[in-house]
Structure 1
Amino acid sequence: MVSLKTKTTLRAGLMGLAAATLTSAAAMAADLQELGFATSASGGTGYMYAVAVATVVNEGSEALKITPFPSAGVIENDRLLRNDEAQLILHTGGQAYSSYRGEGKYPSKFEDLRAIMPIYASLVQMIVPAESDSKSPGDLKGKRIGLGEPGSSANTYVRQVLKAENVNDGDYDGRPNSLTEQVAGLRDGNLDALTTVMGGGAPALQDLAASRDVRWISITPETLKSVIGMNPTGAVVPVTIPAGTYPQQDGAVQTFGVPIWIMAKAEMPDALVSEIVTKFLSNLPRAHEVHPVVDGTTKDFVANAAPPVPWHPEAVKALAAMGYDTTPFTE
């Protein structure tokens, strides 16, 4: 027979254990770092790549939870990071270079901006209906061109391509549409050209090529040389989109790529930086399962990507520990 005193003691012990468990759970929840990750348009490669990064890093982690969300582009991402409305962002080399130095569209120097790792090169892609008489960017003068949303990479780099071929702002009907709006516009005949900066084989462009006869415009070496001269060293790199990347794409397309970086503030704790780098690079096959677009993070790509802003010191340590060489930052 159990006495009342024993029952009371047992009840008190169980209540104490429950309280301790709740306190421990609360402590663990308090220690969990939630990081908002500003990416790109929801149909873009950047967003899908970020989802893959977040998935593999979050799995089994008791230290952090990364939540990717779509954005209007890297200029918006930069603003969100400055204002602590995001803790991780995708950034292009050229725009990060300007932000760090307070040039161009950036109101002040962002000296706390730090590189975590380069993950892939986003490609400048210019697409027209197959029956279009436009064979080069210069032929788009007077046309209705989707430029991407203000603040997007496409809005910056495509205008540079056009300028290199003597097609200046005002010489065409530039429309700052989202990718979704551009795809619909080109499919329905309301746009003469779609332009974007995203990874090769992006699903949104796969779907477009499967439902409408379209053609990719190549960029000549002379135009590429001019664009390279408009940007900091390492901001753009020549890239070929292989034939067959998209439905009915019979020939290779010459273009250029914009290295895409994961960036954060200098105050990002070392432990979180190390976990992000190590878990993602250790689980690339898993990341590819999440999204097949994850195929651009290679040792050669990481080693050859020139950082436009200082590295986060812990990122360099984590990359080196995994056998990844890095290019030092230079002013």
Structure 2
Amino acid sequence: MTPRIRSLAFILALLFVSACEGGARRQFMSIGTAGTGGIYYPIGGAIASRLSVADSSRQYTAEVTGGSVENVNRMVNGQMDLAFALPVTLYEAYNGSETFPEPIKNLRILAPLYANMTHIMVGPGSRVQSISELKGTRVAVGPPGSGTEQIAKQVLEAHGVTYDDIDVRYLSFAEAAAALKDRALDAAIISVGYPASAVLDATTTGDARLIGVDSVSAAALIERHPYYSWDVIPAGAYPGQEEELLTLSQMNWIVSLDTLPDDVVDALLTIVTADRPELARVHPMAGLIDLRRLQDTPIPVHAEVERWLAAHPDAVQAPVTP
């Protein structure tokens, strides 16, 4: 090897080592979402991509998960850094419950997302018109232990239906849609923003249809669990839906533990406000992000959120119409 070639090889080796060391210094951050048939995952992916650009010291990735409960548990176990979750999960996790025997007092809210609508689908040809008529049928309630499953159980019980009354199927949104189309399932309860790909799939190609909640039963549920709100799925949201449907909703939240670095919180809040129109092009529900909802949260917010809001009063704006 000539001296010139040796010198060139040495320089290339130094560049390679430098590149490796530079790459090693970039910290990997994980964002827990849910299944691919819902809305968490595409919005989570869009936020992760923008965070990775805004924060040169970290690489963010959106993970497919079983949803809210898994996300919170994996954050506590150090397997995730941020997550999307429903208030029923956050309330039970922070205060302790059967699902979370040990209260997670260091759980914190970072930002609101959009409201999850409770979708109750019945299969093609079904004569079921109300939730109370689901007794004796095969009902998908979401992945086991997920936020959707927590909601499904409460909604069913509010209408006089327990798990003992039905054949419970623990399926993801996409799996439930496929099972409805194959007539391997009679009904599915899905908590998701609209329009949801799994619901579109089942109603477009599988002739599934949506039914609403009973107003008296739903009112009693809201009285017991105030993190529920009245809502409607508008007419025309899905194929064959000619009238608006009365339903229940819950706000989705982006959460972390209280140890999440302040600069990550700052970057996230900047993205969900400044980049909201771009996020809404990924999915229209992202256009409903409204920081005014931080005035009413099921658990405490991260300390940096309060500091950021004080420094950016103009960032609190009305949501973009989807």
Name the TM-score, length of structure 1 as normaliser: 0.86
In the TM superposition, 1:156-175 aligns within 5 A as: 156-175=150-169
Q: Distance in 1 between matches of 2:303 and 2:202?
A: 42
Q: Which residue number corresponds to residue 211 of structure 2?
A: 217
The answer to whether the Cα contact below 8 Å between 2:203 and 2:240 also exists between their aligned partners in 1 is yes
Aligned residue runs from structure 1 range 67-146, under 5 A: 67-129=61-123, 131-146=125-140
Name the structure 2 match of 1:195: 189
AA partner of residue 249 (structure 1): Q
The alignment partner of 2:111 has SS state of strand
Aligned AA (2:305):
A
Matched residue, 2:298: 308
Say whether the 8 Å CA contact 2:123–2:185 is kept in structure 1: no
Amino acid of the structure 1 residue aligned with 2:275: N
In 1, are the aligned partners of 2:132 and 2:160 still within 8 Å (CA)? Answer: yes
- Contact 1:114-1:310 at 8 Å conserved across structures: yes
Q: Separation in 1 of the partners of 2:78 and 2:246?
A: 38
Q: Structure 1 residues 113 and 60 mapped into 2: Cα distance closer, same or farther (>3 Å)?
A: closer
State the Cα distance separating 1:131 from its structure 2 match.
Answer: 3.1
Distance 2:201 2:84 in 1: 24
Q: Secondary structure at the match of 1:222?
A: helix
Q: Which amino acid aligns with 1:323?
A: D
Point out the more displaced range, 43-52 or 282-291.
Answer: 282-291
> What corresponds to 1:4 in structure 2?
none
CA contact (8 A) 1:34 1:66 kept: yes
**8 A Cα contact 1:144 1:193, kept in partner:** yes
Structure 2 residue 294 is the aligned partner of structure 1 residue 297: no
Instruction: Give, in whole Å, the separation in 2 of the partners of 1:204 and 1:250.
Output: 19
Distance, in Å, in 2 between the alignment partners of 1:68 and 1:311 is 22
- Is 1:250 aligned to 2:242, yes or no? yes
Mean alpha-carbon deviation: is it higher for 130-139 or for 253-262?
130-139
Tell me how far 1:40 sits from its aligned partner: 0.8
From 56, 65, 88, the equivalent of 2:59 is 65
Return the offset for 1:18: 8.2
2:181–2:208 Cα contact (<8 Å) kept: no
In structure 2, relative to structure 1, the CA distance for the partners of 1:261 and 1:250 (3 Å cut) is same
Matches within 5 A, 1:169-188: 169-188=163-182
Distance 1:167 1:226 in 2: 14
**Range moving further from structure 2, 84-93 or 315-324:** 315-324
Task: Name the stretch that deviates more: 142-151 or 283-292.
Answer: 283-292
CA shift digits 1:175-210 (9 cap, x unpaired):
112222211111111111111111110122112211
Distance 1:72 1:279 in 2: 25
SS at match of 2:175: helix
Which residue of structure 2 aligns with residue 267 of structure 1? 259
The correspondence for 1:323, drawn from 307, 314, 317, is 314
Alpha-carbon spacing, 1:107–1:84, altered in 2? closer, same or farther (3 Å): same
SS, match of residue 178 in structure 2: helix
Q: Note the C-alpha offset of 1:239.
A: 1.4
Counterparts of 2:50 and 2:96 in 1: how far apart (Å)? 34
3-state SS of paired residue (1:170): helix
Which residue identity is paired with 1:265?
A: L
> What letter matches 2:145 in structure 1?
G
Partner Cα separation in structure 2 for residue 45 and residue 186 of structure 1: 20
The amino acid of 1:114's aligned partner reads: R
Looking at structure 1, the residues matched to 167 and 305 of structure 2 have their Cα atoms a distance apart, in angstroms, of: 43
**Corresponding position: 1:236 with 2:228:** yes
Q: CA deviation at 1:299?
A: 4.6
- What is the TM-score normalised by the length of structure 2? 0.88
Partner of 2:320: none
Structure 1 equivalent of residue 29 of structure 2:
35
Seen in structure 2, the aligned counterparts of structure 1 residues 74 and 285 have a Cα distance that, compared at 3 Å, is: same
Q: Which has the larger radius of gyration?
A: 1
Cα displacement (A) at 1:118? 1.1
Aligned 8 A contact 1:116 1:261 in 2: yes
Contact 2:112 2:291 in 1 (8 A): no
Indicate the SS of the match to 1:264: strand
Residue pair 1:55, 1:287 contacting (<8 A) in 2 also: no
Residues 244-269 of structure 1: per-residue CA shift (max 9 Å, x gap) = 11122111111111211111111111
Query: How far apart, in 2, do the equivalents of 1:264 and 1:293 lie?
Result: 21
Measure how far apart 1:132 and its partner are: 1.9
Counterparts of 1:282 and 1:63 in 2: how far apart (Å)? 21
Contact 2:273 2:315 in 1 (8 A): no
**What amino acid is the match of 2:265?**
V
Deviations 1:202-235 (A, max 9, x none): 122112211122221111221222222332x4x2
SS at match of 2:288: coil
